[in-house]
Amino acid sequence: MGLFKKQERNIEALSTIQDTNTFKLTRKIAEGGMGAVYEAIQLGSDGFEKRMAIKTILEDFSANDEFVEMFIGEAKLVADLIHQHIVQIYQLGKVGRQYYMAMEFIHGVNLEQFIDRHHQYKKRIPTELCVYIASRVSRALEYAHKKRNRNGELLGVVHRDISPKNIMIEAEGVVKLTDFGIAKARHIMKDKEGDVLMGKVQYMSPEQAAFEQTDGRSDVFSLGVVLYEMLAGRNIFADDDTLVCIDNVQKKPIPPISHYNPNVDDDLQRVLDRMLERDKGKRYQDAGECATDLEFYIYKGGYGPTFNTMADYLQHLFPEFKQHVAAR
């Protein structure tokens, strides 16, 4: 009994400890329409330091209840999505009227920057790396789609914003999915489907573009659009006119990927065709099944790309990352 009483006293004492960690912002990483992301150092006791990313709501939008609710919902959702291919959120905080999220810092690039660097050098992304990146995102989606709450109830998570900007590649070669800001999840995030079109139109599934209800299959289609773009060097649905873009997503014929990239064989074409099937009943029904086919494609010969392969290639494209990796 004495041991249990001592443990109870320790737990009671710990529950009264105040959080003394503070954050020192070092630079702005990015700014969007309503928020910004900063690199920061978390300062703790006895000289403890940890590099973090701090995501904030821009002050002008801090009074917007709807946006604040989405911001809080993202933090609550991703706090329980613990996966090696999903960017982690550690803390939701508030300073005055302004909310912030303390997040895992990714020293690397997003997929849009990765694609743009290839355009700059006028070179193709190696096919096996395109498939490798898509397979890692597909595993992240498989986990998110199957996530259940503490009562065992399926959360019904749908990311709804799969796009190159929301896929990160670390200098060490690890691929991470981020930004669940417009995701939907039962009892956590309001979906507004049927009322508001949310997401980047050129990466939407046909059902999302039609204001219909979405499920995990919608994310699979969006990932197919991203994979097609990596292989072809262009987005197949993009247009400066949003209405034309929406129509493209729903109706525009999708050329065989070999039309843009002769290095893609029939096996990969079949996987891509199934990802981009407009009839969601014929599409991959599960992101895990899609991931398995992508992985089989790159590993069926017995060896294929790993995060080390990805890291070496990324450091060749972005030499500034070599010093960072060596320093660590």
Q: Which residues have a catalytic role annotated?
A: 161
Give the CA distances from residue 19 to residues 16, 22, 23, in Å, rounded to whole numbers and listed in that order: 10, 9, 12
**CA atoms of 308 and 319, how far apart (whole Å):** 15
**CA atoms of 131 and 305, how far apart (whole Å):** 9
**CA atoms of 315 and 324, how far apart (whole Å):** 10
Bridge partners, 95 (sequence order): 98
State CA 2 to chain mean position distance: 49
Question: Closest by alpha carbon to 55, among 72, 245, 124?
Answer: 72
**CA atoms of 22 and 229, how far apart (whole Å):** 41
Bridge partners, 93 (sequence order): 100
Question: Closest by alpha carbon to 131, among 305, 312, 315, 286?
Answer: 305
